[in-house]
């Protein structure tokens, strides 16, 4: 039997805020909408930045991408702060349990030496690449236009930091502080890492937020994550008895599966806006993904040796197919 509790019923005067009613009609708005649409100042900005007087404080002109309405670039996950932190809190619970499991069962010690070495050589220097990604997404959030586009970049930046920290913990667990020192040395001076470090440093000087979005989140991470975490760790290493490593990188695999949906949605909306945008995106994705692929070959070689070329080639083909679905043929 259902019992309806009686409450004092008062008819509301209105359903939502004016700016949301203009966008979505006169109906109750979701918390994502309330927290994301039109909350950045847009008009009557008071002063030009002293750090670059050619720009406005919030400026759509600092990127080559042109949008009639930047709030079209919505996040299909509808992440606002609360849903974002709740999602990551659950994932960090799992990650924590995985680290504890590997540690308490002594699984790290049971790894074949050769595979542990590979895991350390391949994964630990990537914490610096993840820090580069953090820098880039922070910049997109800071200088990009419209909250629906920029807030997920802040979330992405903090995820990048979280990933860098998980990779550091993996290094400490499998190889103690020496592993972090060796990883940094390899990142700075090891031949295998220089093309990738050069790539990252070249992105650190980009100031077009959308180009940076492409160079980091589409081109580099679109190749690096499936290559490293899916092909190498989850498949190649697990098949050789190192599934403990895959437990330590589950966060990265799950995270990539989730965030790529957002990245694709942004590309798709921007490309659908105009032929101009599509052409710019094609140019950026082609140029940056070619460079990223070349930079990742010597990295993949650390695990795959002579198979690295093919493995990277597969990912390049997969990325092309993925990008084609967003309406951009390379």
Partner 1 sequence: MDMKTEKKTLNLKERYRLLTRDLGWEPSYRSADEVFPYVKYEGIKVHDWGKWEDPFRLTMDAYWKYQAEKERKFYAIVDAHAQNNGHLNITDARYLSALKLFLQAISPGEYAAGKGFARVGREFPGVGTQVACQMQALDEIRHAQTQIHALSNYNKYYDGFHAFADARDRIWYTSVARSFFDDAMSAGPFEFMIAIGFSFEYVLTNLLFVPFMSGAAYNGDMATVTFGFSAQSDEARHMTLGLECIKFMLEQDPDNLPIVQGWIDKWFWRGFRVLGLVSTMMDYMLPKRVMSWREAWEIYGVENGGALFRDLARYGVRPPKGWDDAEKAIDHMSHQIMLGLYQWSFGTSFHSWIPSDDDMEWLAKKYPTTFDKYYRPRWNHIKKLAAAGTPFKNFGLAKLCQCCQLPVVFTEPDDPTLLCNRETVYEGEKYHFCSDGCQQVFENEPEKYVQAWLPMPQLFQMFDGDVAAWMDWVSLRDGHDNGDYDGSRDQQNFQQWRGLATSNQ
Provide, rounded to whole angstroms, the least separation between the CB of residue 271 and partner 1. 26
Choice between 19 and 268, CB closer to partner 1: 19
Give residues 307-326 in contact with partner 1 (rule: CB under 8 A): none
- Closest by CA to 249, choosing from 161, 129, 123, is 123
Q: Binding-site residue total for partner 1 (CB under 8 A)? A: 88
Provide, rounded to whole angstroms, the least separation between the CB of residue 307 and partner 1. 26
Q: Work out whether 23 is an interface residue with partner 1 (CB under 8 A).
A: no
Provide, rounded to whole angstroms, the least separation between the CB of residue 235 and partner 1. 25
Choice between 42 and 324, CB closer to partner 1: 42
Provide, rounded to whole angstroms, the least separation between the CB of residue 127 and partner 1. 6
Of 3, 8, 68, 191, the residue at the interface with partner 1 (CB under 8 A) is 8
**Positive or negative, the Cα torsion across 221, 249, 251, 320?**
positive
167: number of CA atoms within 13 Å, CB side? 27
Give residues 133-152 in contact with partner 1 (rule: CB under 8 A): 134-135, 138-139, 141-143, 147, 150-151
* Residue 278 zone, left/alpha/beta (φ > 0; ψ -120 to 50; rest): alpha
Q: What is the 3-state secondary structure (H, E, C) of 173-196?
A: HHHHHHHHHHHHHHHHHCHHHHHH
Provide, rounded to whole angstroms, the least separation between the CB of residue 162 and partner 1. 4
And the tokens for 128? 């610096």
Report how far residue 78's alpha carbon sits from residue 152's, in angstroms, rounded to the nearest whole number.
9
Provide, rounded to whole angstroms, the least separation between the CB of residue 136 and partner 1. 8
Residue 244 CB neighbour total at 10 angstroms: 25
* Residue 145 zone, left/alpha/beta (φ > 0; ψ -120 to 50; rest): beta
Contact 246, 233 (CB under 8 A): yes
Choice between 255 and 278, CB closer to partner 1: 255
Choice between 196 and 281, CB closer to partner 1: 196
Provide, rounded to whole angstroms, the least separation between the CB of residue 278 and partner 1. 28
Q: Work out whether 215 is an interface residue with partner 1 (CB under 8 A).
A: no
Of 63, 156, 168, 315, the residue at the interface with partner 1 (CB under 8 A) is 168
Choice between 177 and 257, CB closer to partner 1: 177
- Which region, judged by CB under 8 A, interacts with partner 1, from 2-10, 234-242, 281-289, 309-317? 2-10
Provide, rounded to whole angstroms, the least separation between the CB of residue 310 and partner 1. 28
Site string for partner 1, 90-129 (x = CB under 8 A): -xxx-xx---------x--xx--x--x----------xx-
Measured in whole angstroms, the distance separating CA 185 from the mean position of its chain's CA atoms is 25
Contact 156, 259 (CB under 8 A): yes
Q: Work out whether 43 is an interface residue with partner 1 (CB under 8 A).
A: yes
DSSP string, 36-53: HSS-S--S------TT-T
Q: Work out whether 71 is an interface residue with partner 1 (CB under 8 A).
A: no
* Residue 26 zone, left/alpha/beta (φ > 0; ψ -120 to 50; rest): beta
Q: Work out whether 42 is an interface residue with partner 1 (CB under 8 A).
A: yes
Q: Work out whether 294 is an interface residue with partner 1 (CB under 8 A).
A: no
Angle 307-311-312 (CA atoms, 0-180°, nearest 5)? 120
Helix-helix angle 275-304:113-123, to 10 degrees: 150
Of 3, 10, 68, 239, the residue at the interface with partner 1 (CB under 8 A) is 10
And the tokens for 322? 């993925």
Give residues 195-214 in contact with partner 1 (rule: CB under 8 A): 197-198, 201-202, 204-205
């Amino acid at each position: 039997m259902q019992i309806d509790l009686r409450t004092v019923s008062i008819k509301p005067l209105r359903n939502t805020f004016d700016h949301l009613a203009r966008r979505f009609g006169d109906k109750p708005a979701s918390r994502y909408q309330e927290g994301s649409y039109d909350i950045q100042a847009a008009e009557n900005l008071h002063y030009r930045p002293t750090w670059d007087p050619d720009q406005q404080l919030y400026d759509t002109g600092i990127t080559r991408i042109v949008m009639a309405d930047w709030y079209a670039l919505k996040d299909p996950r509808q992440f606002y702060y609360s849903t974002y932190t709740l999602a990551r809190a659950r994932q960090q619970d799992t990650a924590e349990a995985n680290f504890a499991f590997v540690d308490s069962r002594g699984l790290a010690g049971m790894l074949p030496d050769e595979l542990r070495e590979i895991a350390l050589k391949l994964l630990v220097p990537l914490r610096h690449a993840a820090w580069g990604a953090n820098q880039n997404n922070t910049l997109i959030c800071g200088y990009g236009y419209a909250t629906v586009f920029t807030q997920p970049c802040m979330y992405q930046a903090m995820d990048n930091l979280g990933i860098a920290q998980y990779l550091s913990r993996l290094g400490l667990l499998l190889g103690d502080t020496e592993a972090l020192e060796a990883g940094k040395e390899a990142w700075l001076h090891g031949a295998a890492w220089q093309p990738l470090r050069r790539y990252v440093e070249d992105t650190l000087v980009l100031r077009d937020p959308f180009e940076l979005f492409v160079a980091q989140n589409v081109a580099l991470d679109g190749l690096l994550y499936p290559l490293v975490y899916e092909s190498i760790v989850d498949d190649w290493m697990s098949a050789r008895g190192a599934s403990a490593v895959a437990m330590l990188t589950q966060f990265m695999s799950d995270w990539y599966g989730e965030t790529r949906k957002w990245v694709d949605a942004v590309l798709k909306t921007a490309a659908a806006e105009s032929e101009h945008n599509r052409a710019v995106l094609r140019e950026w994705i082609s140029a940056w993904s070619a460079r990223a692929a070349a930079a990742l070959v010597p990295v993949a070689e650390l695990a795959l040796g002579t198979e690295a070329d093919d493995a990277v080639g597969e990912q390049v083909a997969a990325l092309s197919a993925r990008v084609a679905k967003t309406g951009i043929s390379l």
